[in-house]
């Protein structure tokens, strides 16, 4: 009887911005588990780098809001690896702040981190990928905040909406060598989930609003990124994969004074 052989996948060079914690860590670990060589960047060296299947990510210091540091990041990546196959633009975020009360400087920083920095990183990645025979893939981590009201993080939602527009435009400009895609997660349970949802009771309450009954885990986002960067998704470009467990139950269904029998009728 012939022995079944496992499908071998080719190792790639992957850069995950903000890839040492939260969603970024989940993404880094899924690429490591696949056998890829993963680089992560951040402002400070993390206490523990992502690791999986005996592989550990490599760290390069970079504040992605600084264009000069981005250039140095890619120069160091070139020196160490000599190539870049996948960029995951993950670094971003925003604290809670009502739009009427936040300062202009605050909004500028939010847009710089969540829209301009990913654009600058993508420009640098594309320049290198265009020179490679196999091209490359750029994955932007967007958010459902770009697709529905985002009270308390209006500038963040607007910046992420800008990211989705970027993805469509860059996919046209940089084809066919480079594919550009987005993933838009809903609520994700990370080590900082309590800052957004409170204690375990708060997390459970949020989970009840999601059709699949739970928040996403960082590895869920990682699995989506791995698939989008794979040969199985070779015809996917300019697209946004919404990863929200089925979405949010419309508030009017609970607010309406209509019983279930009347609705069915």
d(CA 243, CA 108): 27
Q: Which of 96, 156, 197, 235 is catalytic?
A: 156
Nearest Cα to Cα of residue 30 among 47, 7, 50, 13: 50
d(CA 232, CA 7): 13
Q: Which alpha helices (DSSP H) does the chain contain, by range?
A: 22-34, 67-81, 104-111, 117-129, 154-173, 193-197, 200-207, 218-228, 251-255, 260-264
Question: What does the DSSP 8-state code read for residue 235?
Answer: T
d(CA 21, CA 71): 23
Nearest Cα to Cα of residue 139 among 23, 22, 247, 9: 23
Does residue 156 have an active-site annotation? yes
d(CA 175, CA 128): 14
Q: Which residues are catalytic?
A: 156
């Amino acid at each position: 009887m012939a022995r079944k052989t496992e499908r071998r996948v080719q190792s790639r060079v992957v850069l995950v911005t903000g890839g040492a914690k939260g969603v970024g860590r989940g993404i880094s670990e899924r690429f490591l588990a696949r056998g890829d060589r993963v680089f992560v960047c951040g402002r400070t060296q993390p206490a523990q780098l992502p690791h999986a299947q005996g592989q550990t990510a490599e760290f390069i210091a970079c504040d992605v809001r600084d264009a000069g540091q981005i250039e140095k990041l890619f120069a160091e990546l070139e020196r160490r690896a000599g190539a870049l196959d996948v960029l995951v633009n993950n670094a971003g975020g925003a604290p809670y702040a009502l739009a009427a009360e936040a300062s202009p400087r605050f909004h500028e920083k939010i847009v710089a981190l969540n829209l301009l920095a990913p654009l600058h990183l993508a420009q640098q990645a594309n320049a290198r990928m265009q020179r490679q025979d196999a091209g490359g893939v750029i994955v932007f981590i967007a958010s459902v905040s770009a697709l529905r009201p985002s009270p308390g993080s209006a500038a963040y939602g607007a910046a992420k909406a800008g990211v989705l527009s970027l993805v469509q435009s860059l996919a046209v400009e940089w084809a066919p060598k480079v594919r550009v895609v987005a993933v838009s997660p809903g609520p994700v349970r990370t080590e900082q989930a309590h800052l957004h949802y409170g204690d375990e009771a708060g997390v459970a309450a949020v989970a009840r609003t999601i059709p699949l009954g739970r928040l996403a885990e960082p590895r869920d986002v990682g699995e989506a990124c791995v698939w989008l960067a794979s040969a199985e998704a070779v015809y996917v470009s300019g697209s946004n994969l919404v990863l929200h467990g089925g979405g949010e139950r419309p508030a009017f269904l609970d607010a309406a004074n209509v019983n279930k029998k009347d609705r069915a009728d």
